[in-house]
C-alpha cells in the first residue's frame, strides 16, 4: 500500500489548467472514462467513474467518486473501489451501477480478470468477466461481497464469456433485475442479457437475451442502462463497431437508445429503431438515474476511444458531460440540460433582442472560455450563417447552418489537432421557422443542444487560453437573432486549478496521504 501511495504522489501533479474544465466533472489527477453508479442516496447525488489514478492513461480500473447536493456543484471523495481481489486481477473493477437496499448503497460492477500472455495462449482468450457487488452504509467506504462473483457461469452457447459486463441493476415489483452488455461468440452481434434475483445479494439467474443486433448495429453492446421515461421503456447502450445500412462505419463507437417494451415474464425487449443520443465527436457510455422528482438524468463520457487526448501532457485525461434530462416525444428521444445548472450563473447575464447582423460581428462581453449561450435565430430570414466559438486570429470552432437543414460542427481549426477521427460533423435537422441553440462551452469542450434537445452535438477542443471570441457571421444575406442570452459560469467542482498554478493535488485531497 505504501508503494502505491508513493506511486500515486509521483503522478498526482497537474502542470497546467489550460484545458481542465471549470464546471464539468473530471478526475483530479490521472485517467477517467465510463460513468458508473450514478444515484441519489441519503440526500445527495453520487457519481462514480472508471479511473486510473497513477497516470493519465488507461490502466487497471478503479472507481473514482464525486458527490453533489444539486447536480451543479460537486466535490471529490476518496476512491470507492480498487482492484484488490483475484477476480479483478489485471483488468480491475469495470463499469456498473448502484442501487439502495435496506438503507445501504450497493454497487454492482464487473470484475475483469486479465490473463497473462501465457494464460491467454493456453486457454484461448485474453480475459474473462464476472459480476460483483460491494456495499456501504455511508456511501463513501465500500466493502466487497464475500459471495463475489455473484454472476459467474452462463450456460448459453450464444453468449461470449469473454465480454459480459457493465451491469445496470434496478428493482421491479419486488424483484431485482440487471441488464449486461455482451456479444455472440463469433463477435458478429452485440446483445443485451437480462438477469433476475429475488434478493440482490445472491441467487442471480440468467433470464434471456433481451435484445440483439441485426448485424449492422454493432458487434458488442456496452454500458447498458434501462429506465421508464414518459411511459416508455428505454434501453440506453453503447454499440461498438456500429455500421450504417450501406456497410460503412458511421462512428466507431456511439451511444444511443432503443424505445419499446420489456416483457418481464419472458425477458424479451421489443423495440423500434436505434436512435442516437448525441451526434457529436465525443460521447460514450452514458449513465442514467431517476431523480427524486421523477426525471431521468444522464451523464456521459465526453471523450472517445483511440483519439488524441492532449490533456495527458498536463497530468489528467477525460471528463464528463453536463447532466442532461431525457424525455420521449412523439417516439423520439430528446435531451436537454438539467435545470440545476442555472445555479452556476453567478454573474449578471448579457441579453440582446432583435439584432440584425450583416457582417462578421462580436458583441461586447460575449466571450470567454467557460460560459452558456442561449440563442433563438430567425431561420427563415437567416438563410446561411456561422458562429465561431473560442475564436482568435488563428483558432476557431465553427457552428454553421443552412436553411435546407444542414447543421455543421467544424473543429478543423480548434487548436491542437485531434488525430483519430474526422474534424467535421454534419447532420440534417428538421428546418423550422426558428432555430434554437443552447450551447455550453468549457475550457476544452463544447455541447450544443438544438431545438429543445431534438439533436445534440458534443466535442472536445484544445484551443489556446487566448482564443475567447464569439463571432457571428452571415454568409448569405443577414443573420437575424431574435434573442441572445450569455452567462459566464462558475466553477462547478472545486480544484486547486482555480489559481491556475502548478499544484500537487495531495494537498487538496488529504486522504491520499493516508
Report the catalytic residues. 34
Separation of first and last alpha carbons in the chain? 10
Distance from the Cα of residue 506 to its chain's centroid = 26
Grid coordinates standing for 251? 462512428
Q: What is the 3-state secondary structure (H, E, C) of 82-150?
A: CCCCHHHCEEEEEEEEEEEECCEEEEEEEEEEECCHHHHHHHCCCEEEEEEEEEECCCCCCEECCCCCC
CA dihedral 373, 318, 120, 144 (to 10 degrees): -100
Q: Are 507 and 418 in contact (CB under 8 A)?
A: no
- Residue 53 CA to residue 414 CA, distance in Å, equals 29
Q: Counting Cβ atoms within 10 Å, is residue 265 exposed (0-12), middle (13-18) or buried (19+)?
A: exposed
The values of phi and psi at residue 7, to 5°, are -65, -40
Q: Are 504 and 14 in contact (CB under 8 A)?
A: no
Q: Counting Cβ atoms within 10 Å, is residue 403 exposed (0-12), middle (13-18) or buried (19+)?
A: middle
Q: Are 371 and 441 in contact (CB under 8 A)?
A: yes
> Cα angle vertex 330, ends 239, 300, to 5°?
35
Q: Are 67 and 45 in contact (CB under 8 A)?
A: yes
What is the gyration radius of the CA atoms in the chain, in angstroms?
Answer: 23
Instruction: Output DSSP code: residue 273.
Output: -
Q: Which helix (H) or strand (E) holds 391?
A: strand 384-391
- Residue 157 half-sphere exposure toward CB, CA atoms < 13 A: 0
Peptide bond into 149 cis (omega under 30): yes
- Residue 376 CA to residue 483 CA, distance in Å, equals 5
Amino acid at each position: 500500500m505504501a508503494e502505491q501511495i508513493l506511486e500515486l504522489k509521483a503522478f498526482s501533479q497537474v502542470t497546467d489548467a489550460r484545458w481542465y474544465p471549470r464546471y464539468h466533472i473530471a478526475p483530479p489527477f490521472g485517467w477517467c472514462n465510463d460513468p458508473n453508479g450514478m444515484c441519489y442516496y441519503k440526500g445527495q447525488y453520487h457519481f462514480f467513474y472508471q479511473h486510473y489514478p497513477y497516470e493519465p492513461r488507461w490502466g487497471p480500473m478503479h472507481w473514482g467518486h464525486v458527490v453533489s447536493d444539486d447536480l451543479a456543484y460537486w466535490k471529490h471523495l476518496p476512491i470507492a473501489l480498487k482492484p484488490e481481489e483475484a477476480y479483478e486481477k489485471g483488468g480491475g473493477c469495470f463499469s456498473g451501477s448502484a442501487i439502495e437496499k435496506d438503507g445501504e448503497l450497493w454497487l454492482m460492477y464487473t470484475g475483469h480478470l486479465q490473463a497473462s500472455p501465457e494464460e491467454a495462449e493456453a486457454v484461448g482468450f485474453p480475459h474473462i468477466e464476472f459480476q460483483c457487488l460491494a456495499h456501504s452504509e455511508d456511501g463513501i467506504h465500500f466493502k466487497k461481497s464475500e459471495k463475489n462473483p455473484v454472476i459467474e457461469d452462463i450456460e448459453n452457447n450464444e453468449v461470449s464469456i469473454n465480454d459480459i459486463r457493465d451491469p445496470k441493476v434496478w428493482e421491479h415489483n419486488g424483484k431485482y433485475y440487471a441488464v449486461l452488455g455482451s456479444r455472440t461468440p463469433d463477435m458478429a452481434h452485440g446483445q443485451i442479457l437480462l438477469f433476475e434475483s429475488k434478493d440482490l445479494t445472491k441467487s442471480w439467474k440468467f433470464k434471456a437475451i433481451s435484445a440483439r443486433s441485426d448485424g449492422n448495429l454493432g458487434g458488442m453492446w456496452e454500458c447498458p442502462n434501462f429506465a421508464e421515461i414518459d411511459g416508455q421503456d428505454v434501453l440506453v447502450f453503447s454499440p461498438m463497431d456500429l455500421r450504417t445500412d450501406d456497410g460503412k462505419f458511421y462512428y466507431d463507437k456511439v451511444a444511443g437508445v432503443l424505445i419499446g417494451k420489456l416483457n418481464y415474464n419472458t425477458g424479451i425487449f421489443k423495440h423500434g429503431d436505434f436512435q442516437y443520443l448525441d451526434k457529436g465527436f465525443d460521447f460514450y457510455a452514458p449513465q442514467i438515474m431517476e431523480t427524486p422528482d421523477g426525471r431521468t438524468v444522464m451523464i456521459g463520457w465526453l471523450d472517445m476511444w483511440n483519439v488524441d487526448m492532449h490533456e495527458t501532457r498536463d497530468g489528467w485525461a477525460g471528463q464528463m458531460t453536463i447532466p442532461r434530462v431525457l424525455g420521449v416525444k412523439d417516439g423520439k428521444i430528446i435531451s436537454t440540460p438539467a435545470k440545476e445548472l442555472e445555479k452556476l450563473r453567478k454573474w449578471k447575464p448579457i441579453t440582446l433582442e432583435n439584432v440584425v447582423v450583416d457582417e462578421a460581428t462580436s458583441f461586447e462581453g460575449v466571450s470567454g472560455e467557460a460560459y452558456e449561450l442561449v440563442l433563438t435565430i430567425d431561420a427563415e430570414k437567416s438563410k446561411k450563417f456561422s458562429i465561431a466559438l473560442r475564436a482568435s486570429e488563428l483558432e476557431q470552432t465553427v457552428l454553421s447552418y443552412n436553411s435546407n437543414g444542414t447543421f455543421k460542427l467544424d473543429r478543423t481549426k480548434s487548436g491542437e489537432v485531434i488525430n483519430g477521427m474526422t474534424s467535421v460533423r454534419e447532420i440534417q435537422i428538421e428546418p423550422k421557422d426558428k432555430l434554437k441553440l443552447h450551447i455550453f462551452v468549457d475550457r476544452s469542450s463544447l455541447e450544443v443542444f438544438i431545438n429543445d434537445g431534438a439533436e445534440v452535438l458534443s466535442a472536445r477542443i484544445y484551443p489556446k487560453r487566448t482564443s475567447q471570441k464569439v463571432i457571428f457571421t452571415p454568409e448569405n444575406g443577414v443573420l437575424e437573432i431574435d434573442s441572445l442570452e450569455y452567462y459566464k459560469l462558475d466553477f462547478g467542482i472545486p480544484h486547486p486549478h482555480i489559481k491556475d498554478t502548478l499544484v500537487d493535488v495531495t494537498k487538496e485531497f488529504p486522504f491520499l496521504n493516508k
